[in-house]
Amino acid sequence: MSAHVEPDDATPVSVLFIGGVGRSGSTLVERLADQVPGVHAIGETHHLWERGIQDNQLCGCGQPFDACPTWIAIGEAAFGGWDQLDLDRVIYLRHAVDRTRRVPELLKPGSKRADIVEYCDILSRYYRGVRDVTGADLIVDSAKNLSTAALLRLVPGIDLRIAHVVRDSRGVAYSWTKKVKRPEVDGSAGTAEAEFMPEYHPAYPAFRWLTDNGGFEVLARLGTPMVQHRYEDFLERPREILGEMLASTPAADADLSFIDGDTASLDGPVHSVSGNPMRFQTGDLVLRLDDKWARELDTGLQRLVTAMTFPLLARYNYPLRGHPASGSSSAPSTSTPTPSTSTPSTSTAAPPATNGASTNG
Ligand SMILES: [Zn+2]
């Protein structure tokens, strides 16, 4: 980590945004990044307003949102307290602005409509509040959504980088056919959220995989600072790939010795909103490829997903038939991910990859 210098108001807030499609491993990447000295992970920002403030779901530290001292302090620093926010207005803005169908407008140069400007200003105060409270050199946001990434390019006062994480489309599609519980809903009173994450026919995540990953390709072409990696490569060489994700950020050269081979030592809680159940885990985490989809996803459905996502599967060097990539075709990269397969397995149970195949759009 570079020497910590106390930021002033003029110093932009460094944000590393983990982008991609739901169930691509973003929660695991975030969890590991949060272990890095000087880095603070916040979870999925677009879910802060409803899942955090409104529904009081569990923070990654296991406490309800309104009882977590870190979140209380962030609310104070950013807005003079969460109760000072017009929450209905913020939730309205989030749904109006942070949507797939508004991405073309968000990417178009020139002045933006008032609702976009208003929401970006709220986000600007939020990120600054996070930095002021945590003292972090780098904030990691694992929102994943293409629309959120497009919005963050417009937020005043932040220095944005994107880590675009790609996972084999067939692994992603298979993951969305599974029943996954939301542990963060437990213990939160009056939540509107279902106890289980939604399940989808593989065609829907396949469609989103193609369009959303394609959208991140466009963001890169527009000059947004971005690194791209395959999740499968991350699992195979976690220390090296995490280092590459942090390169060119204030956390470049940070000590990553908590990752030793295929094992990451997770020390202490992460104060994050939303994400897959593995965000609650502490202790040693063994990182392994999970290629269950190759055996358990119906062959016809595998072919369907392959056909639907073919152009980008090939671009990312995933094999087009038969078996999951071995992860051997390493792709350190600054602009092109590479092949292999899967979900992280922990020493306890394999976590489903990631929360919310983005309910926006
Ligand atoms: Zn917390």
Q: Hey, what domains does the chain have and what are their CATH numbers?
A: 13-315 (3.40.50)
CA 152 to ligand 1 centroid distance, Å: 24
Q: At residue 193, does pLDDT exceed 80?
A: no
Find tokens 């590459």 and name the residue.
244
Q: How many CB atoms lie within 10 A of CB 221?
A: 10
- Mean pLDDT value across residues 255-265: 96
Confidence of residue 277 (pLDDT cuts 50, 70, 90): confident
Using CA atoms of 295, 315, 27, 71 in order, give the dihedral in degrees to the nearest 10. -160
pLDDT tens column, 106-154: 999 988 999 999 999 999 999 999 999 999 999 999 999 999 999 999 9
CA 61 to ligand 1 centroid distance, Å: 4
CA 138 to ligand 1 centroid distance, Å: 18
Q: At residue 285, does pLDDT exceed 50?
A: yes
Distances from the Cα of 206 to the Cαs of 78, 84, 115, 337, in angstroms?
A: 38, 41, 31, 18
Q: Is 280 helix (H, G, I), strand (E, B) or coil?
A: helix
CA neighbor of 283 nearest in space, from 301, 259, 265, 258: 265
Name the token pair of 57.
Answer: 């779901």
Q: What is the pTM of this model?
A: 0.86
| Neighbouring residues of 104: CB distance < 8 A, sequence distance ≥ 6 | none
Using CA atoms of 44, 208, 90, 28 in order, give the dihedral in degrees to the nearest 10. 0
CA 5 to ligand 1 centroid distance, Å: 25
Per DSSP, the chain holds a count of helices (H) and strands (E) of 12, 8
Which residues are placed with Cβ below 5 angstroms of ligand 1, an ion?
59, 61, 68, 70, 271
CA 82 to ligand 1 centroid distance, Å: 15
CA 231 to ligand 1 centroid distance, Å: 26
